[in-house]
Structure 1
Amino acid sequence: MDFTAEITKLKEEKRFRRLPLIEARQGPYVKINGKWLLNLSSNDYLGLSEKLSQKEILEEIKDFPIGAGAARLLSGNHLLYQRLEEKLGNLYQKKALVFSSGYHANVGIISALAGRRDVVFADKLVHASIIDGLRLSGATYFRYPHGNIEALADLLKSRRFRYKRAFIITESIFSMDGDKSPLEELIKLKRTYQAFLILDEAHAVGVYGQQGLGLAEEYGLINEIDLLLGTFGKALGGYGAFVIASEEVIDLLINKARSFIFTTALPPFILAVNLKAISLLPDLKEARSQLRKLSSWFRKNLGLSGDTPIVPIVLGDNEKALAASAKLFEAGFFVPAIRPPTVPPGTARLRVSLTSQMSEENLFSFLRLVEK
């Protein structure tokens, strides 16, 4: 079986990728090919992946084995899962369920809850894992223009009541554009059209809200979200994902989400990391404030509004994005070019990701280079 033609096409279209080898990490810097670079591609928004003490965590799990050894519905549901889900439940005042990754969660949630008699309305720019979940579900789905509430309202009005159940799916902070979802308007629509609202808070947990619970907490809307998804692998510095929903929904996911049922449980060490991060989350107000101030300053210097740490510099052409990335690498900045299929054709970009470990001083020379 020959795949040469496909690889050749990817190279011709400037879409071929290779894995960068990160030789070392220290604060906001990474070492690649022996060169230290400011890492502007990390989602470790609060720097927790380095701040969490491995020694303390290893002490916590001294009575646990290295691996879980089985799926959670068999013998893999160890005590740290219970502690973590109870902690999450107390914070969000709902039930919680931990998944092995954000991808596992989105694919499993949608395919478990939606079926052939249902309809799903998803923002055009939702994550690939959500799109894959839609395809697996067998439900009819429509992808409305990004952030366009009027278009969504028209779709709901014309299509919703042809189906048994309706779902609206969006991200709170969009992973490639760094803009916010209009949550209040979405909640009004879900009430009007009796829809179930799923909110992916992967890039908002840790960064937004009084306790760092996400954009829904920031707006005082957690109770209005039917299902909220968060991840441990970004601002929380760990690995895995969690779902917040009613007890009924959680019970259904345990019994129907294939990506939950048919995968080995997470190792105790990972659960202990996640539990420590969640315990610290409410006390990280200063880091959140610092990150948002830095993000606002950086965006303002690029002529952009907002305060999210994801800052797109859209160049359009794949080759232009690659060239800009290479130039910045030589100047001491690691900003990989983001190209299709990660973003729509014609919108290749540099996706700058800021963290609370950075300062204005770190970023002055980057801004000067971008201005050129």
Structure 2
Amino acid sequence: MTLKDELEQALQTLKKNEQYRQIPTLAHDGRYVVYQGKRLLNIASNDYLGLGSDSSLQRAFFEQMDQLADTHYPKMSATSSRLLTGDDTQLQALEFEMQAWYQTAVCQEDVSNSPSSPSNLSRPKSVLVFNSGYHANIGILPALTALPIKTLVLADKLVHASIIDGLRLSQNKTVGYRRYRHNDYAHLALLIEQADDDIRRIIIVTESVFSMDGDRADLQQLVQIKAQDARIELYVDEAHAIGVLGVTGLGLAEETQTLGQIDYLVGTFGKAFASVGAYIMCDEIIKRWLVNHMRSLIFSTALPPINHAWTRFVLAKMPSLTPARTHLALLSTELSEAIALKYSTSAVSSAYTSPIVPYILGDNARTLTKAQQLQAVGFYALPIRPPTVPANSARIRLVMNAKLTYDDCERLIQQL
């Protein structure tokens, strides 16, 4: 049997197990996608605020760009790494504006938490922008653990695949990692208690909003755990919370007033921001360390300056998008309550968690069939199967966005 024969056999096994993936051929039309000749309402995208489908917003951006002199018009390619000639004024301005956004929010947090104790004010953070969330998560942890000191990384069981890859790349003679049960902070505390005495640093890694389940980490409890051991640092990925949660959209850390206690605050621009790229908010010395040790930054061509200009354009509007965030929360709560009432035997909570609402069916074939049924009645819904999610937890990952209406939500609920 040739190598190609073995590959084909393995692919056939995936098909047999209903785990075979294909890239869907799509066209986009505002809130809709055109798939297999049908115009379907998009309930699968991470475009939480609907900015990616807002053509008027995009036209306004290009009109603003057209006001610039040719010498200042953002280039279409960076053509090299930031450490060579890939840096540009748009990227520098984006990092500065993200830093100012953080600082404004954390100052408000400090005033709320310690109005009479200026000595407790949080230190300012620096911002470093990356090409994607995957670039960020596979690069930050290996760079942080490059210093030869004994380190233990403790990660939530359900962190994103990019974080898991970063953990694997971090392992060496002085670094180990363990996984604590999902959102089980008693288990996390036990792992900390069991840590060897010669471990000098413990990095706790979590998402703030989990990508497949849509539930939240308890950032306030994690901050309390951190306060009990000087070795602990917190790494929080806000990919699915940035733009969506918080008074100004800065994420769950802003909403829970824990910004100042998180050491490594990571997020992306490819979801609610409807752009591309990612960032870390961290101490300035950490930024300098990453510039010298983060391989996915050093050896990647930077993003095009025009992308950074668009991200800045969206960033300027983000604090004013509270009505969109409120509408999104109401839609998401209505959908999650409807699913819970239909399938849950426990009390239904009306607390808003996120726009991600999992419709868990368990069986792969059943999940595929349900996705096809939803597509047949006008909804672009996709099945999520193992290994993306744990075995026997295949699901339709339903995602609300701020451009959907209450009628859209009601029609969807009727089809579940």
TM over 0.5: yes
**2:87 alignment counterpart:** 77
Q: 1:97 Cα shift?
A: 0.5
**2:169 alignment counterpart:** 136
Q: 1:57 Cα shift?
A: 5.6
* Pair 1:221 & 2:258 matched: yes
Match of 2:306 among 269, 281, 302: 269
Query: Could you tell me which amino acid in structure 2 is paired with residue 45 of structure 1?
Result: Y
Stretch moving more, 251-260 or 184-193:
184-193
Aligned residue for 2:186, secondary structure, equals helix
Aligned-residue sequence identity (percent) comes to 41
Whole-Å separation in 1 of the counterparts to 2:376 and 2:303: 39
**2:20 alignment counterpart:** 16
* Pair 1:159 & 2:192 matched: no
**2:343 alignment counterpart:** none
**2:377 alignment counterpart:** 331
Spell out the pairing of 1:1-372 with structure 2 (5 A cutoff).
1-2=3-4, 3-26=7-30, 28-51=31-54, 52-54=57-59, 55-56=62-63, 58-59=65-66, 62=70, 63-93=73-103, 94-115=125-146, 117-138=150-171, 139-159=175-195, 161-193=197-229, 194-303=231-340, 305=349, 306-307=351-352, 308-370=354-416
- The CA RMSD over aligned residues, in Å, is 1.4
Which of these two proteins has the greater Rg computed from alpha carbons?
Answer: 2
Alpha-carbon deviations, 1:117-140, whole Å to 9, x = none?
311000000000000000001121
Q: 1:269 Cα shift?
A: 1.2
Whole-Å separation in 1 of the counterparts to 2:53 and 2:410: 25
Stretch moving more, 52-61 or 123-132:
52-61
Query: Could you tell me which amino acid in structure 1 is paired with residue 259 of structure 2?
Result: I
Query: Could you tell me which amino acid in structure 2 is paired with residue 325 of structure 1?
Result: A
Alpha-carbon deviations, 1:298-338, whole Å to 9, x = none?
21122253321100011111111101101111011111100
Change in Cα spacing, 1:239 to 1:57, as seen in structure 2 (3 Å) is farther
Alpha-carbon deviations, 1:107-154, whole Å to 9, x = none?
111110025731100000000000000000112111100000000000
Change in Cα spacing, 1:37 to 1:185, as seen in structure 2 (3 Å) is same
Query: Could you tell me which amino acid in structure 1 is paired with residue 166 of structure 2?
Result: G
Alpha-carbon deviations, 1:66-101, whole Å to 9, x = none?
210110000000111110000000011221000000
Q: 1:257 Cα shift?
A: 0.7
Stretch moving more, 357-366 or 35-44:
357-366
TM-score by length of 2: 0.86
Change in Cα spacing, 1:160 to 1:183, as seen in structure 2 (3 Å) is farther
Whole-Å separation in 2 of the counterparts to 1:220 and 1:61: 42
Contact 1:61 1:268 in 2 (8 A): no
The runs of 5 or more residues in structure 2 that have no matched partner are: 104-124, 341-347
What is the count of residue pairs matched by the alignment? 369
Alpha-carbon deviations, 1:278-298, whole Å to 9, x = none?
111111111111111111122
Whole-Å separation in 2 of the counterparts to 1:324 and 1:11: 17
TM-score by length of 1: 0.96
Stretch moving more, 183-192 or 148-157:
183-192
Q: 1:160 Cα shift?
A: 5.5
Stretch moving more, 186-195 or 60-69:
60-69
